[in-house]
Structure 1
């Protein structure tokens, strides 16, 4: 029984994306090459270019396929879901996220590719915040999360690198809860 062409294409694209994620993680955006991705995927470099066009587009697709927590699907307040995601990043070093972060900090093409993926999660945070300035609040929450993750795992800031993730979350809880709360609640 032969596999339909569309399914073969999807399987090949998925294999290339998986290989690309590994190459970007290991080498960073600047040193990753289409040839290395092709070799890791077991395909010709021309096929990678045919499916994805450029290294920047391939990087963007890797980011787009990364799982993003769905705040609308999860129970409980958005602030607790956000803090739970942070706790996971603090407990288990997010190697893929850190590779992407390193690339973003050193390469404008990578930064441009990441904006879309980051915007998806920030948009979810925005929608979960019942405030007129929800977009700004979501951007602040995202910046806090990014800063803490980078300080702990990339910069290895003494206090953050060794702190118990539960303690970090405990200290952040009032801040994130205040940013994610309805500013009109409690006024009266």
Structure 2
């Protein structure tokens, strides 16, 4: 079965995609400090020199993959806002957020990862706080952010019993009251 020859541009794109996928997995699994360019290249089945050629440095590669999801601005009534935040948590517990986990695992040892996580959380909290009418809006959204962050860390990084295998809808059902309070 003949296949058409693959262009250099297509070969490059495929190699870059393999490197990005390997980097996501390894940074999420081992964190920034314990992940090496050589390990990423081996996982991607390519040469470490190509990884450096395409991405220039470990830090630039990390910045490319360790992006924390940012959501559309929140709005509506406080009840609608709580449900939007619960839906965001449900999405994070339904599928392992590999890129976010790379940032979370690395945030304790790598300043850029900590900055990325903090900026994403602050942006989400500000949008949510703007939609709440009460004086405690900032504190309430910070606590909801802490619950969300703690849930993701406990589920995917610590793999706590009960939480690791819990259905996402059960998690959001149990957190519904605190999110609405």
What's the TM-score once normalised by structure 1's chain length? 0.63
* 8 Å Cα contact 1:15/1:41 also seen in 2: yes
Per the TM alignment, residue 82 of structure 1 is displaced from its structure 2 partner at its CA by: 2.1
Paired with 1:42 and 1:114, the residues of 2 have a C-alpha distance of: 30
Compared with structure 1, are the counterparts of its residues 137 and 60 closer, same or farther at alpha carbon in structure 2 (3 Å cutoff)? farther
Compared with structure 1, are the counterparts of its residues 8 and 134 closer, same or farther at alpha carbon in structure 2 (3 Å cutoff)? farther
Answering whether residue 56 of structure 2 is matched by residue 53 of structure 1, we say yes
SS state of the match for residue 31, structure 2? helix
Please show how residues 1-188 of structure 1 align to structure 2 within 5 Å: 3=7, 5=9, 10-64=13-67, 68=69, 70-72=71-73, 77-90=80-93, 94=96, 96=98, 97-98=100-101, 100-105=103-108, 108-109=109-110, 111-116=111-116, 119-120=119-120, 122-128=122-128, 129-131=130-132, 137-155=140-158, 160=163, 165-178=168-181
**Structure 2 equivalent of residue 181 of structure 1:** none
Whose helix proportion is higher, 1 or 2? 1
Paired with 2:131 and 2:63, the residues of 1 have a C-alpha distance of: 30
* 8 Å Cα contact 1:60/1:114 also seen in 2: no
What's the TM-score once normalised by structure 2's chain length? 0.65
Question: Unaligned regions of 5+ residues in structure 1, if any?
Answer: 179-188
Paired with 1:135 and 1:119, the residues of 2 have a C-alpha distance of: 15
Per the TM alignment, residue 176 of structure 1 is displaced from its structure 2 partner at its CA by: 2.5
**RMSD across aligned positions (CA):** 4.0
Compared with structure 1, are the counterparts of its residues 147 and 9 closer, same or farther at alpha carbon in structure 2 (3 Å cutoff)? same
Paired with 1:152 and 1:2, the residues of 2 have a C-alpha distance of: 41
